[in-house]
């Protein structure tokens, strides 16, 4: 049994909110949107947003580096901005090709960037130099997930495939004909046994990593595109969010649906839910939407 209580709605962005990211404090998080604003929020002081950065174009993805207290923001059509959170100063920038950038992930001081031109850019975080560009599709690279156990990373594309690459040589290892439409989100399970994928086809698929990514399970999870997948801090659950305006809570072992958070039941979002963040603060979930708002939900199991 799960009960859901809506704690608050954060307003302030002037366009669709696309990105959410953790900070080094459990009660704070970052958001970024189509308005180019990057904001830090405090779950203990609802709706008091603190401007961290402003860029000229929309931001679909960002990644926080705890060791340095830096935030890497990837601005569409421009490139990477490295922000010192303490001073809110821009430390470094890296110009990228003029396209959309849908995801950035960092592993062991290497950044992996998914571009709208089908290119995966691999970047040395220390000196902001390019290590490699992988042109893997004529269509957009949409999402990246890293598996250090198998030393590989997975990339979802708008050509409906998931491509698996070697984490050290960056060579293509496998192509999975995964979905009937664009692959919008990928997440390895916490034990790296499974890869979960969500698509514009509204399907959630579970791939068995140890069986060469054999399809373990297919779930008609939403009525429209699945935009994001995130695990709970204790790894017992995961959440999906969708263009169908809902957030859904699932059992991480059985993949059974446990709860639907939507407008009818819980005064949820009025338009697409683009991103979800499962915080360590009071088991609260944060969701970001095309309706320009960020909602906060507290779950009790």
**Which CA distances in Å does 298 have to 23, 45, 227, 234, 281?**
19, 15, 21, 15, 9
Across the strands, what pairs with 98?
none
Model confidence pLDDT, tens digit, residues 214-242: 999 999 999 999 999 999 999 999 999 99
How many Å apart are CA 45 and CA 1, to the nearest integer? 29
48 falls in which pLDDT band (50, 70, 90)? confident
Place of tokens 């590989």: 152
Residue 77 · residue 99 · CB < 8 Å: yes
Residue whose C-alpha is closest to residue 261's, from 287, 282, 280, 283: 287
Range of the structural domain that residue 17 is part of: 3-300
Measure CA of the first residue to CA of the last residue in the chain; give whole Å. 6
Taking 80 as the threshold, does the pLDDT of residue 46 lie above it? no
- Average pLDDT of the residues of the chain: 97
Model confidence pLDDT, tens digit, residues 89-122: 999 999 999 999 999 999 999 999 999 999 999 9
Model confidence pLDDT, tens digit, residues 143-179: 999 999 999 999 999 999 999 999 999 999 999 999 9
Residue whose C-alpha is closest to residue 150's, from 192, 108, 198, 109: 192
Model confidence pLDDT, tens digit, residues 181-215: 999 999 999 999 999 999 999 999 999 999 999 99
Residue 280 exposure: Cα atoms within 13 Å on the Cβ side: 9
Q: Return the pLDDT at 219.
A: 98
Ordered DSSP codes for 130-155: EEEEEE--SS-EEEEEEETTTTEEEE
Residue 197 · residue 186 · CB < 8 Å: yes
Q: Is 37 helix (H, G, I), strand (E, B) or coil?
A: strand
Q: Domain tally for the chain?
A: 1
Q: Return the pLDDT at 240.
A: 98
How many Å apart are CA 152 and CA 159, to the nearest integer? 20
- CATH number of 254's domain: 2.130.10.10
How many Å apart are CA 39 and CA 188, to the nearest integer? 28
271 falls in which pLDDT band (50, 70, 90)? very high
Place of tokens 């669709």: 16
How many Å apart are CA 248 and CA 299, to the nearest integer? 12
Structural tokens at position 273: 């839910």
């Amino acid at each position: 049994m799960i009960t859901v209580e809506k704690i608050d709605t954060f307003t302030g962005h002037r366009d669709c909110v696309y990105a959410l990211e953790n900070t080094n404090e459990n009660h704070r998080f970052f958001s970024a949107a189509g308005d180019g604003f990057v904001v830090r929020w405090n779950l203990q002081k609802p709706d008091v947003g603190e401007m961290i950065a402003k860029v000229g174009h929309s931001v679909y993805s960002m990644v926080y580096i705890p060791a340095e207290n830096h935030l890497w923001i990837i601005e569409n059509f421009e490139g990477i901005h490295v922000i010192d959170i303490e001073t809110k100063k821009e430390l470094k920038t890296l110009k990228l090709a003029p396209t959309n950038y849908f995801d950035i992930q960092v592993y062991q001081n290497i950044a992996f960037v998914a571009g709208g031109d089908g290119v995966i850019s691999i970047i040395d975080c220390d000196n902001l130099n390019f290590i490699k560009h992988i042109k893997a599709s004529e269509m957009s690279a949409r999402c990246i997930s890293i598996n250090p156990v198998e030393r590989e990373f997975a990339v979802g594309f708008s050509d409906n495939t998931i491509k698996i690459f070697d984490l050290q040589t960056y060579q293509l290892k496998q192509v999975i004909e995964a979905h009937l439409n664009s692959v919008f989100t990928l997440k390895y399970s916490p034990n790296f046994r499974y890869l979960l994928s969500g698509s514009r086809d509204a399907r959630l698929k579970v791939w068995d990593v140890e069986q060469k990514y054999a399809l373990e399970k297919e779930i008609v999870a939403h009525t429209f595109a699945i935009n994001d997948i995130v695990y709970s801090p204790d790894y017992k659950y995961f959440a999906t969010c969708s263009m169908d305006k809902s957030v859904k809570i699932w059992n991480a072992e059985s993949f059974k649906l446990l709860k639907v958070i939507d407008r009818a039941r819980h005064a949820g979002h009025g338009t697409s839910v683009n991103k979800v963040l499962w915080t360590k603060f009071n088991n609260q979930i944060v969701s970001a939407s095309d309706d320009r708002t960020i909602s906060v939900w507290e779950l009790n199991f």
